[in-house]
Amino acid sequence: MRRTVRSGFGIRQGAQAMRPFTLKVIYTGGTIGCVGDPLTPLPAAAFEDAFDRFMVPIIAERYPSITLVYEAFDPSLDSTNLEPSDWARIAKSVIGEPGDTTTYASVDGFLILHGTDTMAWSAAALSFLLTGLNAAGQIEAQLSKPVILTGSQAPLFYQAEGSKSLSLRYNTDAIRNVLGSIECIRAGLSQVGLFFNDDLMRGNRTLKTNATEFDAFTSPNYPVVAEMGIELTVKNRLLIAPPIHPDLTLDTPAALCALQDQLAYLSDRLDAVTIVDFVAHPAAYSASQGQSLLASALDGTLKGVGHAHGLYLVNYGEGNFPSGNPDDPQSGAVFKVLKAAHDSGTVIASGTQVISGMVNSTAYAAGAWLADCGCVSTYDMSGPAVQTKLTYLLALGQADRFDWPQATIENLMRTPIAGEMTPMNRLDDARGRFLVAGQSISAFDGSATLINDPDFGPRLIDPHHPETPLWSALPEIDLRPDTLPGRLIIQGDGNLAFYSRANAVLWQSDTRGSRHGAAVLILSGSVKTDDLALYLYDESNQAVLKTFYGAAPSIAALG
C-alpha cells in the first residue's frame, strides 16, 4: 500500500476565499483506473500521476483551497475477486490502525474509487464496519464525515496502443462521477454513500442493475439522498441521523479508539465466516416420498462447507420458498434441512429475488412456515446488505468478543444499524418519528402490531384478535369523530404524544427528559412466547422511560 500527499492549490487571484478543505482519495482499482484492451488497472503511481495532471486542475477550479491526500492500493484490488477482509482494509484507510490519531482527524472526507462489480457489497460492508457496536448491540461509534464510493462504466484515462502517455477521456461517466462525489463530500453528508450517474445513494441500499449503461446503480427500496444537476440538491430528511450523543462521533478519541479496536478484531475474522446463499427455483419434489431436489441441493451445499455460520435464502416474492410439501410444509424435505441447520447454530436470513419491496414471509402460507424452522425476515434490505451485515454480526459476535447467542444475532439482523433497512418493530425519533393513520410497527414475528387506527387511535393488537386490543392510548369513551384520525409522534424531548387532526394533544406519555432526542418506542418479544412488551426507551441514557404493555427486557436495545 502506497501513501503520497499533495499540497493545497492555493486561492486564485480574485476568487472568493474558501475554508481549507482536505479530501482523501483512496484508489482501490476498478474500471475507472483501467486502460488498454483488454482493460487493465493502472499501477498506483501511474494513476496518481495521471489524476494529478488531468483531474486536479479541474477540481481546483471549483475548490481552490482543497488539499488532496492519496492512498492507493498497490497492487489494486480486482473488485470481482474481493474478499471480506478487503472491506476491512478499505475501512482502515478511513480510520487507521489502533493508536492512529491522524488518518481520520486530518481530513474532511473520503472518496473511494472502486470497481463496480462488488461496489454495492463494499458500500454496505463499510457502513457496518465504520459503525461501532457494544456488547448490547448499541452504537458506540459513528461517522461524522462523508465516505463516498464511486467508479465508472468507462475508464477515466486513455492510453493508445504502444504508447506510454495517458490522456483524459472526456466522453465518459468517470469525470462526472468523481466531481459529483466531491460535491457531496464538500456538502458534509456524513454517511457511507455511493455516487453514480448524478445520484448519491445510501451505500447499503444500492444494487448494480445495469451492466453497460451509465446509470449502473439504483436504490430500489430507498430514495436517492441527493441529486447533482446545475447545483447539488440534498434531501435532508433522507440522510443518516447524526449520533445521539456528541461523544459517539469518530471525532471523539475514545469513540475512534473503540472502532479501531473493533476493526482490528474483525480484520482477522471476516474471511473465516462462512455464508451460504441459496436461490429458490422450480425443481421436482415428491411429498409422498419426502424427496426434493432443492432439499438435496441445499443439504449438499451446507455439508460441503462443513458448517455454515449463516444461510441467506433468496426466496420468491414476499418471501416464499418451496417446502417440498405444500399441504404440510413442516413435513417437507426442505423444512427438515433448514430446521436441522438452524438447530446446529446457523443463522438463516430470508430474503427475495425481487429487486424492490418488503419481505413478509407470513403473508402467504407458502412462506409462513419459514419462521417455524428459525428463519428471520430481512424486510427491505438489499441482498448485498444482508450478506455483509450477516458476515459482520457473526464475526463480531464470536465467543472471544461479545459471545452473542444465535437469537441475539437474529434480532440484530432485524434491527437497523446503519440505515440499511426500515425499522419494523420501533418508532425512532431520529429515523422516522411519527405514525400517521393506518401506519404501524410490528413484533418481529408479526404476532402483535401497534397501529395508529384511523377510528380508535394508537392500539396494540394481536392480528388474529383485532377486536380485543391488548392496549389502547385512548379510552373509547373519549373518542370524538372531530378529532380523528391523528398522529403518534415521538418528540425531541422524549415525550410520546398523540395529536388530533387539529394538532391538539389527545394523549401523551409524560416522559420528557431525553437530553439528546434519543427516545425509541419498541415493540419486542412475541405473543407466542408470552414476552410481548411495548415500551419507550432512552438510547442516550440506556434507560426505559415508560412501559405501556408487558415487561421491558433487560437489554432493551436488542428488542
Instruction: Please give the chain's pLDDT, 559 residues, in tens.
Output: 334 444 444 334 444 566 789 999 999 999 999 999 899 999 999 999 999 999 999 999 989 999 999 999 999 999 999 999 999 999 999 999 999 999 999 999 999 999 999 999 999 999 999 999 999 999 999 999 999 999 999 999 999 888 889 999 998 999 999 999 999 999 999 999 999 999 999 999 999 999 999 999 999 999 999 999 999 999 998 998 888 888 999 999 999 999 999 999 999 999 999 999 999 999 999 999 999 999 999 999 999 999 999 999 999 999 999 999 999 999 999 999 999 999 999 999 999 999 999 998 777 778 889 999 999 999 999 999 999 999 999 999 999 999 999 999 999 999 999 999 999 999 985 556 889 999 999 999 889 999 999 999 999 999 989 889 999 999 876 677 778 999 999 887 889 999 999 999 999 999 986 565 678 999 999 998 999 999 999 887 788 999 999 999 875 444 4
Neighbour count for residue 505 (Cβ, 10 Å): 12
Phi-psi region of 363 (alpha: psi -120 to 50; beta: other; left: phi over 0): alpha
DSSP letter for each residue of 398-454? STTTT---HHHHHHHHTS-SSS-S--SSEEETTS--EE-TT-EEE-TTSS-EEEEET
Q: Where are the domains of the chain?
A: 2-269, 273-380, 426-558
Which residues make Cβ contacts (< 8 Å) with residue 400, sequence separation at least 6? none
Q: Which of 3.40.50.1170, 2.40.110.10, 3.40.605.10, 3.30.300.210 is the CATH number of 2-269?
A: 3.40.50.1170
Examine residue 38 and say whether the peptide bond preceding it is cis (omega within 30 degrees of 0): yes
User: Considering the domain 273-380, what is its CATH architecture?
Assistant: 3-Layer(aba) Sandwich (3.40)
Domains 2-269 and 426-558 share a fold: no
C-alpha R_g of the chain: 25
For β-strands 40-41 and 139-141, DSSP reports them as: unpaired
**Cell representation of residue 447:** 404476532
Q: Provide the pLDDT for residue 380.
A: 96
Tell me the one-letter amino acid at 427. Answer: L
pTM: 0.92
Q: Could you give the count of Cα atoms lying within 13 Å of 67 in the half-sphere of its Cβ?
A: 13
d(CA 60, CA 109): 16
SS3 content of the chain, % helix, strand, coil (to 5): 30, 25, 50
| Residue 478: per-residue pLDDT | 65
- Position 420 scores a pLDDT of 97
**pLDDT on residue 408:** 95
Cβ–Cβ < 8 Å for 135, 402: yes
d(Cα 322, Cα 296) in Å, to the nearest integer? 13
Closest CA to 128 of 2, 12, 254, 240: 240
CATH of range 426-558; options 3.50.50.60, 2.90.10.10, 3.90.1150.10, 3.40.50.1370: 2.90.10.10
Question: Which neighbouring-strand residues pair with 234?
Answer: 226
Q: With left for phi above 0 and alpha for psi between -120 and 50, is residue 365 left, alpha or beta?
A: alpha
- pLDDT score, position 16: 53
| Upstream peptide bond of 57 is cis (omega within 30 degrees of 0) | no
Q: pLDDT tens digits, residue range 474-522? A: 987 667 777 899 999 988 788 999 999 999 999 999 998 656 567 899 9
Predicted local confidence at residue 119, as pLDDT: 98
Classify residue 403 as left (phi > 0), alpha (psi -120 to 50) or beta: left
Report how far apart the first and last C-alpha atoms of the chain are (Å, whole number): 42
